[in-house]
Amino acid sequence: MAALRRDFTLDDLAPEAAAAGIDRTILVQVLPDADETAEFLSLAGAADLVAGVVGWADLTSDHLTDTLTALRTGTGGELLVGIRHLVQGETDRQDALCRWCTPGGNLGRGANGELAARRTATTRS
């Protein structure tokens, strides 16, 4: 397991991807941390190998729109292709999934069909 318990970089990935005939890839966040998402976006912006980043944002935050805007307008922000929430870290997983999939949830469709944050409060009865 020691071989797996280390940081892997794009320099590690590049020769493996080339050998497998992979031209581009997607970076997916590991930690529930917006700073990691910003770091991945910065890396992606400087690497042709990365086609996009699936990052993390607190979907329960009243500041979700601001967080997503900061990520999209920061370095590499145009490569943000999705947001992932670590449901396995939630005490009540069903509640966590339902909060964002309902009309009152934080997520909805934007004018161009993209997933967009809403500034509406999330309430459950």
The DSSP annotation for 38-68 comes to HHHHHHHHT-TTEEEEEE---TT-TTHHHHH
> Which has the closest alpha carbon to 65: 12, 5, 121?
121
Q: Domain limits at 85?
A: 10-117
> Which has the closest alpha carbon to 31: 78, 108, 84?
84
**CATH, residue 104:** 3.20.20.140
Instruction: State how many domains the chain has.
Output: 1
In a domain, 18, yes or no: yes
Question: pLDDT for 36-92, tens place per residue?
Answer: 999 999 999 999 999 999 999 887 777 888 899 999 999 999 999 988 877 766 666
Position 59 scores a pLDDT of 78
Question: pLDDT for 87-114, tens place per residue?
Answer: 766 666 666 666 555 555 555 444 444 4
Does the pLDDT of residue 125 top 70, yes or no? no
In a domain, 110, yes or no: yes
Structure-model confidence comparison of residues 81 and 2, the more confident one: 81
